[in-house]
């Protein structure tokens, strides 16, 4: 690089090039929790302390489960300690074994939940447009070893539920959904939570509604619900009668208190997410090779992720260089779900052939970048983030030359 080029670029106000972080003295996280008013939580906690009833299906938990089930229009909500244990217990309650068809483009917890109980994830490719399971490929992957199909509602956008239902019905397989990020979204007018044989939602702090840690198994199947309820409390049917192999995956009263306080204001959280989403879309329009992953216009969405998709054939800066620029400004953009479950252990070693069968997944993990959103952010924060992204695009080629590890 010439001395002239270097001095031109070094005038850019970017921390990645040696300047001071421009806008954000505090880190902006992807996944900073939405929190309710402290009093709404503390009052409920005070009640739990006064009752001296802190876990094992207390009154707060019961109310939380009822309210979630009502909101999602599903018969049973069984609150659990986290979505990963919910997925494990659900599969076990259904007596599944062998293989489960699922995407590799998901949080590794989806695959681990199954592998932990001896089920082999059969990784299926996604569709570029939806980022979710490609139903045609699912159909082709079903074998005599398949015991279920698991769709994932990535970014809180429903996967192709109707098409998956048809395939599951044709092969007489249970259809399950990892709905971890999808609380508050609907599919064809019906809330996510009541599709397939069961769905599992997460209430982790990084999700639109949180219970500190937590999740729920949601189903309209009475027998399945009863089995899951037994399994999450060691198999106890009553005080000293254990009727099957169970485990501990109960949600505490403190978590339920957080859930109830958050439920009261979750629509406000979603409204903020939506405002940020629209602001990102408006501010980032027209940048070459960059798009903001949309939420469906004809359904309700929780807008909980601001996902950039970067086509490096057309963009002047690579996804990873952009992430580097943003991180230096304290904008902690993430690359979920890089590098894909199939390239993480133990799957990388156990299923080396998966690498060649997932071209869309392999391409997508190189293209997406998540920006912060949620109630921890102000509109001005969104504008500031967009300003940095625009600057990075406008000077992408020079920045890419200067950043040591940013080769596209």
Nearest residue to 160 via CA among 139, 183, 143: 139
Dihedral Cα 310, 316, 320, 325, nearest 10 deg: -120
In the bound state with ligand T4K, the residue whose beta carbon lies nearer, of 17 and 96, is 96
Cβ 121 vs Cβ 341: under 8 Å: yes
Shortest distance (Å) from residue 351 CB to ligand T4K: 19
Closer residue to ligand T4K, CB minimum distance, 12 or 307: 307
CB-nearer residue toward ligand T4K: 208 or 403: 208
Q: Could you tell me the smallest distance in angstroms from the CB atom of residue 200 to ligand T4K?
A: 8
Between 90 and 93, name the residue whose CB sits nearer to ligand T4K: 90
- The helix (H) or strand (E) run that includes residue 120 is strand 120-124
State in angstroms the smallest separation of the CB of 226 from ligand T4K.
23
CB nearer ligand T4K, residue 155 or residue 393: 155
Residue 350 CA: distances (Å) to CA of 142, 341, 369: 19, 12, 28
Strand pairing report for 28-29 and 331-332: parallel
Q: Which residue is nearest to ligand T4K (CB)?
A: 31
Distance between CA atoms of residues 293 and 370, nearest Å: 10
Closest to ligand T4K by CB, 109 or 384: 109
Positions that interact with ligand T4K (CB under 6 A): 29-33, 82-84, 106-107, 109-110, 152, 178, 180-181, 202, 204-206, 215, 332, 336
Q: What is the enclosing helix (H) or strand (E) of 392?
A: helix 379-394
Question: Measured between alpha carbons, how far is 308 from 397 in angstroms, rounded to an integer?
Answer: 19
**Which ranges constitute the DSSP H helices of 118-194?**
135-141, 161-170
174 vs 372, beta carbon nearer ligand T4K: 372
Q: How far is the CB of 181 from ligand T4K (least distance, A)?
A: 5
Query: What's the min distance (Å) between Cβ of 37 and ligand T4K?
Result: 18
Residues ≥6 apart with Cβ < 8 Å to 347 = 104, 111, 115, 121, 123, 341, 354
Measured from the CB of residue 281, what is the shortest distance to ligand T4K in angstroms?
22
Q: How far is the CB of 4 from ligand T4K (least distance, A)?
A: 39
- What single DSSP character describes residue 248? B
Closest distance to ligand T4K from the beta carbon of 3 (Å): 38
Specify whether the CB–CB gap between 232 and 338 falls below 8 A. Answer: no
Nearer to ligand T4K, 107 or 269 (CB): 107
Distances (CA, A) of 101 to 51, 126, 341: 45, 12, 13
């Amino acid at each position: 690089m010439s001395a002239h080029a270097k001095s031109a670029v070094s005038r850019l106000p970017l921390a990645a090039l040696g300047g001071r972080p421009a806008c954000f003295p505090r880190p902006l996280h992807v996944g900073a929790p939405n929190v309710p008013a402290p009093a709404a939580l503390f009052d409920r906690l005070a009640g739990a302390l006064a009752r001296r009833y802190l876990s094992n299906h207390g009154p707060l938990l019961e109310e939380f489960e009822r309210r979630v089930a009502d909101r999602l229009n599903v018969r049973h909500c069984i609150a659990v300690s986290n979505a990963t244990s919910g997925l494990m217990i659900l599969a076990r309650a259904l007596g599944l074994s062998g293989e489960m068809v699922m995407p590799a483009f998901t949080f590794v917890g989806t695959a681990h939940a199954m592998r932990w109980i001896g089920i082999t994830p059969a990784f299926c490719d996604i569709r570029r447009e939806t980022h979710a399971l490609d139903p045609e490929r699912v159909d082709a992957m079903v074998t005599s070893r398949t015991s279920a199909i698991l769709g994932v509602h990535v970014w809180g956008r429903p996967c192709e539920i109707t098409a998956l239902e048809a395939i599951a019905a044709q092969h007489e397989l249970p259809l399950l959904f990892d709905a971890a990020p999808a609380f508050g979204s609907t599919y064809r007018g019906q809330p996510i939570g009541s599709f397939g044989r069961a769905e599992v939602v997460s209430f982790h702090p990084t999700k639109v509604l949180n219970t500190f840690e937590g999740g729920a198994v949601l189903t309209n199947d009475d027998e399945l619900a009863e089995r899951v309820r037994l399994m999450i409390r060691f198999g106890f049917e009553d005080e000293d009668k254990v009727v099957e192999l169970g485990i501990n995956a109960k949600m505490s009263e403190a978590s339920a208190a957080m859930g109830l306080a958050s439920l009261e204001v979750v629509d406000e959280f979603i409204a903020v997410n939506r405002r940020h989403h629209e602001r990102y879309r408006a501010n980032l329009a027209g940048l070459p090779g960059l798009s903001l992953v949309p939420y469906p216009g004809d359904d309700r969405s929780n807008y909980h992720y601001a996902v950039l998709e970067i086509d490096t054939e057309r963009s002047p800066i690579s996804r990873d260089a952009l992430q580097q620029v943003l991180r230096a400004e304290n904008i902690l953009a993430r690359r979920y779900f890089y590098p894909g479950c199939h390239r993480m252990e133990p799957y990388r070693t156990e299923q080396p052939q998966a690498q060649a069968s997932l071209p869309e997944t392999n391409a997508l993990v190189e293209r997406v970048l998540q920006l912060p959103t949620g109630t921890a952010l102000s509109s001005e924060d969104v504008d500031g983030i967009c300003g940095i992204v625009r600057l990075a695009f406008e000077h992408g080629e020079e920045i890419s030359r200067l950043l040591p590890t940013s080769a596209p």
